[in-house]
Amino acid sequence: MTAKQIMVVDNEEGLCRMMAAVLMDDGHAVRTFTDPLEAVEMFRPGVWDLVISDIKMPGIDGLEVLLRIKAKDADIPVIMITAFATVDMSIQALRKGAYDMLTKPFEPDELLFRVRNALKHNQLLSENEQLRQELAGKFNFDKIIGTSTILQQLLEKVKKVAVRDTSALITGESGTGKELIAQAIHYNSPRKEKPFIAINCGAIPDSVMESELFGHKKGAFTGADTDKEGLLKAADGGTLFLDEIGNLPLNVQKTLLRFLQEQEFRRIGDTSPTRVDVRLISATNSDLEKEVEQGTFREDLFYRLNVINLHLPPLRQRQPDILLLAAYFIREQNRKFATNISGLSPAAQQAATSYNWPGNIRQLKNVIEACITIETEDQISLTTLAQFIDIEEVSAGADDYNNALARFEIDYLRQLLSAAGGNIEEAAVKAGMNMATIYRKMKKYGLRKEDLLGDKGK
């Protein structure tokens, strides 16, 4: 059984030591905190499997600890301990999200019984969530949005790759949807009923990367208090997706290459090999061939990963897809927040399709979300869009468009300031802009407030 990570919060050091001893004897990894504020600060979603907290403590009480931890991870089970259990207190704790209540004094067996039930409940929730996500993820290629020729040609290649159990390297700029392509390969492959495990190699420190991928034995190094199964083992039978693989340290590259050659590996500190059946898909936004030349990426590993290369084009090369993607993100935001934005205005559409989108699809999604947040009309206007992308850099390449944009902005500023009686702060509130944006527009067109107000400004 893999050790569960349990946090114990109680200002009584003796009780903390007793609970830690009982739980560690049962095979769990335990960390105790006598300061509830420190415990809340140290809590991170995904690190802990269970929290046990006293209710009556100095600083902040256990109910506040419960609320703050649940705000970080709504699914973490929390057992509350109290010496003065009442019906009202129990109801209050349960309403705030506590899994169970334990009354002092208690026997070790009772503690273990409550802990085992909470962990079992948490495991069932985790398995159900994983199943739900995998069922939701079994999509067809129609869910990858776009009609551009360059995208359709790529998807035809992806369909062929999906049914062939071989390594694939997905290349492309950040934000182009590389993980979405990896998911499409997995969920349309013979491995679709098995796990899809994704890891961003750039988000994990070099010092723990080998342990994360391959796991370790208890005692293999300082801090290895329990056995750990790595992500390769977790993905057994399925697919492991290594995003930003160019960030892998050289020592881990060597171990990964050995796995690809032999389909087995050794956990850190283990003397016997572990054999798994995993398909590896990797992705990068860097030039791995250049990194091979510079000696920062192994050439033999590069060729093992790059059996099939799938290059995702940047959004600026998929101009016909920009408005389709924008419409999709608008529908998603409307559904999520019960808004009713019908789309982009004609001027905003022209600006969106002409913009370079250096952050690609991810940037477009974030911009649409931001626009809907502040938009007061039934369409996303050019004025709103201009607060999140630099319209001045839009490479329309046509004087009539730039002139039309200038006329629109000057007219809009005149109407806005007229309605606000010349008060720029009030005009900014009405438009959902900041004052700096209005001043910048006025400076751009060489306008004074008197010019925009006409007779009213005299």
d(CA 342, CA 265): 54
Q: Residue 197 is which amino acid?
A: I
Q: What is the pTM of this model?
A: 0.58
Last residue of a domain, one of 283, 311, 339: 311
Q: Are residues 333 and 401 in the same domain?
A: no
- Establish if 197 belongs to a structural domain: yes
Write down the number of H helices and E strands in the chain: 20, 16
- Establish if 138 belongs to a structural domain: no
Q: Residue 451: which CATH number?
A: 1.10.10.60
Q: How confident is the model at residue 149 (pLDDT cuts 50, 70, 90)?
A: confident
Q: Are residues 168 and 306 in the same domain?
A: yes
Contact 410, 376 (CB under 8 A): no
Per-residue pLDDT tens digits for 308-338: 999 999 999 998 899 989 999 999 999 888 8
Per-residue pLDDT tens digits for 196-252: 999 999 888 888 888 889 988 887 777 777 878 889 999 999 999 999 999 999 999
- Establish if 210 belongs to a structural domain: yes
Q: Are residues 408 and 432 in the same domain?
A: yes
Per-residue pLDDT tens digits for 37-78: 999 999 988 888 999 999 988 888 889 999 999 988 888 999
Last residue of a domain, one of 343, 358, 389: 389
What six digits make up the tokens of 173? 């700029």
- Establish if 101 belongs to a structural domain: yes
Which range of residues forms the domain containing residue 97?
Answer: 5-133
Residue 31 pLDDT: 93
Per-residue pLDDT tens digits for 255-264: 999 999 988 8
User: Other C-beta atoms within 10 Å of 448: how many?
Assistant: 9
Q: Which residues, in sequence order, are CB contacts of 426 under 8 Å at separation 6+?
A: 420
Contact 133, 306 (CB under 8 A): no
**Cis preceding linkage at 105, omega within 30:** yes
Per-residue pLDDT tens digits for 397-437: 445 556 666 777 777 777 788 888 888 888 888 777 778 77
d(CA 314, CA 298): 27
Q: Are residues 149 and 253 in the same domain?
A: yes
Residue 369 pLDDT: 94
Q: Residue 342: which CATH number?
A: 1.10.8.60
Q: Are residues 174 and 118 in the same domain?
A: no
Residue 288 pLDDT: 94
Q: How confident is the model at residue 83 (pLDDT cuts 50, 70, 90)?
A: confident
Q: Are residues 38 and 165 in the same domain?
A: no
Q: Are residues 254 and 344 in the same domain?
A: no
Q: Residue 62: which CATH number?
A: 3.40.50.2300
Q: Are residues 166 and 56 in the same domain?
A: no
Per-residue pLDDT tens digits for 121-133: 777 776 666 655 5
- Establish if 116 belongs to a structural domain: yes
Q: Are residues 342 and 425 in the same domain?
A: no
What six digits make up the tokens of 177? 């949807």
Q: Are residues 165 and 299 in the same domain?
A: yes
What six digits make up the tokens of 231? 């992500």
The mean of the pLDDT values for the chain is 85
Q: Residue 220: which CATH number?
A: 3.40.50.300
Residue 79 pLDDT: 93
**Looking at residues 6-12, what average pLDDT do you find?**
93
d(CA 447, CA 452): 7
Q: Are residues 378 and 447 in the same domain?
A: no
User: Other C-beta atoms within 10 Å of 284: how many?
Assistant: 23
Q: Are residues 167 and 273 in the same domain?
A: yes
**Of the candidates 68, 66, 51, the residue with the CA atom closest to the CA atom of residue 119:** 51
Last residue of a domain, one of 107, 133, 159: 133
- Establish if 120 belongs to a structural domain: yes
Residue 454 pLDDT: 56
Structural domains of the chain, count: 4
